Structure 1
Amino acid sequence: MSDVIVAPETRDLGETAGVLEGWLARRLPEAEGLEIRDLSYPRGAGQSHETILFEALWREGNVPRRKGCVLRIKPQGFTVYPDDLFEQQYRIMKVLAERGDASPDDEAVRVARPLWFEEDANVLGSPFFVMERKVGRVPVSIPPYAREGWLKDAAPAQRRVLWRNAVQQLAAIQRVPLEGLDFLAGPAGEHGLEQEWVKFTGFARWLQEVEPLPVLNAALERLRASWPENQPEGLVWGDSRIGNMMFDDAFDVVAVMDWEQPSLGGALHDLAWFCVIAETMHGPRATYGAPLEGMGNREETVALWEELTGKSSADLEWYEDFAHLKMTCTGVRLAHLRGTPRMDDAAMARRLKVA
């Protein structure tokens, strides 16, 4: 089960290695004897982008070089979201990596360092970028990490360390200055809560080009009618969960991954998403996993996040309801792409509190 590949699209890896060798040789003109080897798809994760792991080996003079890399390819047919933020995810990771170099380690957002961006679709059939490969373990979703695997087998005290380190990274994202991040604003320059609202009302309309979904419209109306007063500014990671973090053997965070939906939408979106996913995957009422002793509960997570960020979590329940709508839109889209049944209208209405 743990060897399941969930890449949305796949290709011939031997042919890809040959193309990458020629491409990287142009990026590394001092490299001699360049070789690309050990290409593979990650196991148990990566449902929206085709992601390939590989090793690059070469010599500079008489000095051997070796670098673990990750290739991330812009989706074409398997597009989960209506907006194209492929370049933005590369740019925000680059900013975070550079700012991390100038920050104390306990304050930096830990990301894999982006190395090269290729906009020419003729190389691999779509634009792509390459980043450094981090070494560690990921609590994967397939199979659910709370049902089997290294986190399920860990001691409660170890899980406690992992939870605290994960929340510290979640908080570190909210300490990132927004100056210089205008490239993450919406198409019309919008930012703050309005940016996320425009994004997902557009997502709901896009889905309904395939089939009418009045329950989504009702949920949006309910959310708009109870608009939150607390709208702290902040960077949105997007898919904020421990399943998008890599951990070392000491249960510390090695990297925060999957920045495919970043925005300037505000601080509470990531906290809400993190809490909802935690409840779903390993909380007391887990539906996809099982309760995991040692993981902080919602109240502990919120209290620690407030302490570390200095920001208020007031109105978090509204943001959690909004997170449920975002997840529902994503789930409907994935069902469309895979040709599988989506959540039925009654269950969707209950989830979105419009039953």
Structure 2
Amino acid sequence: MKQKLAKETIPVRAGEELHIERLEAYLRTRIEGLPNNKLEIEQFSAGHSNLTYQLRMGEWQAVLRKPPLGPVAPKAHDMEREFTILSDLSQVFDPAPKPMFFSDDLEVVGSPFFVMERKRGYVFDTEIPEGVTPSRELFQNLSKEMVKRLADLHQIPYEETKLAAMSKPDGFMERQTYGWIKRYEKARTHEVDAAEDVAKWLASHIPKRSDAAIIHYDYKLNNAMFTHDGMQMSGLFDWEMTTVGDPLADLGVALSYWTSKDDPEFLQKGLGKESITNREGFYSREKFLDEYARLSGRDVTDMKFYMVFAYFKLAGICQQIYYRYHRGQTQDERFKHLHVYVKGLIEHAAQVMRG
């Protein structure tokens, strides 16, 4: 029986449209054997950063990734870098989608972009996908696979990939800490009393030593795609922040997204509805941590710094997005109250910091 997949796409949002005829003509110059059907474009609704579109011509499908509209932070949303990373990692890490081509021709979609394969499966976010029966077994499978794939990624010999030449693992956490403090300050629009204390604490508690691994750095449930039973991750997306760095920083980011009923309400709901990881049957953060330690062999006894950093980093990302809305560089109403979420994240980081 053919699986019935949940609707992942929506009509393209106003202001984020692509020129269909121009893009179709360009695709036909870059990809051989495309069907004669007209190009159809829809947009993936998830995500608040890069813009991601589903392309369809008859039975042929692909995904297009491009930066958000308006000015963007320096070195952010580098489509060529993400394309290069995926070209390499998709050969050694199955969930990574295979890219087809990169283009820096600004006449096509108004920015650099790349096209990649369309992975198939189910995305679990705030709701159970249509056609999937919720159960404790499903939630356990999803939890186990999330931990396993993170450990798998961290075990890939980065020296044998192109990331070795694209990254600087030495001094990673120091650069990251001071970098995100600087980015937050540069994009600040509202005063948050706890921000200065958190920034000072992070700067004075940077781990002195760490190992290095390939890190996804935006590892969360709704960036992944699974088989209907949750047993296998069929896709992992949003590789723009991928680098070689401290794997515990990646783990901290993953845990900061892995919410539970014990968390403050704002954290459970994130930017909308609460994540399904809050439901009975999903691993707790402690179980996630213990399972990662077992699979990776890494010492995870002191994660306090990494958790504080993860919440502050997420606050910095959201603040950069809100800054663009505040300055009128984007009119996306999803960002209207993002500064309130930023405040909550920094105050929560301060609570974790204080123990």
Pair 1:82–1:215, CA change in 2 (3 A): farther
**3-state secondary structure, aligned to 1:313:** coil
Q: Which amino acid aligns with 1:298?
A: R
Assess if the C-alpha contact under 8 Å between 1:245 and 1:253 holds in 2: yes
Q: 1:6 to 1:333 in 2, by over 3 A?
A: farther
Q: Partners of 1:153 and 1:284 in 2: how far apart?
A: 25
Counterpart Cα distance in 1 of 2:193 and 2:154: 35
Deviations 1:179-225 (A, max 9, x none): 13135426xx86532342243133123214x5665643331211122
The answer on whether the counterparts of 1:119 and 1:127 sit within 8 Å (CA) in structure 2 is yes
The 5 Å alignment of 1:1-355 reads: 10-12=15-17, 15-16=19-20, 18-28=21-31, 30-31=32-33, 34-43=36-45, 45-56=46-57, 66-77=59-70, 79=72, 83-98=76-91, 100=92, 108-140=93-125, 144-145=126-127, 149=129, 154-179=134-159, 180-185=162-167, 192-208=172-188, 210=189, 215-229=194-208, 231-251=210-230, 252-279=232-259, 282-285=260-263, 287-288=268-269, 289=274, 291-339=278-326, 340-341=336-337, 342-343=339-340, 347=344, 350-353=347-350
For the residues of structure 2 that align with 1:32 and 1:178, how far apart are their CA atoms? 35
Residues 171/7 of structure 1: CA separation in 2 closer, same or farther (3 Å cut): farther
Residue type at the aligned position of 2:299: S
- Does the 8 A contact of 1:191 with 1:263 survive in 2? no
**Using the alignment, how far apart are the partners of 1:27 and 1:206 within structure 2?**
40
Residue 353 of structure 1 aligns to a residue whose secondary structure is helix
- Where 1:235 maps in the other structure, the secondary structure is strand
In 2, Cα distance between equivalents of 1:321 and 1:8 = 34
**Aligned in 2, Cα 1:219/1:7: closer, same or farther, shift over 3 Å?**
farther
Gaps of 5+ in 1: 58-65, 101-107
- Structure 2's unaligned 5+ residue stretches are 1-6, 327-335
**For the structure 1 residues 21 and 149, does the alpha-carbon distance in structure 2 shift closer, same or farther, using more than 3 Å as the test?**
closer
TM normalised by structure 2 equals 0.80
The alignment's C-alpha RMSD in Å is 3.1
Q: Which amino acid aligns with 2:155?
A: R
Cα 1:21–1:82 change in 2 (3 A) is: closer
Q: Structure 1 residues 168, 138: closer, same or farther in 2, change over 3 A?
A: same
Q: TM-score if structure 1 supplies the norm length? A: 0.80
Confirm or deny: 8 A CA contact 1:48 1:75 kept in the other structure. yes
**Cα distance 1:346–1:126, how it changes in 2: closer, same or farther (>3 A)?**
closer
Contact 1:7/1:49 (8 A) holds in 2: no
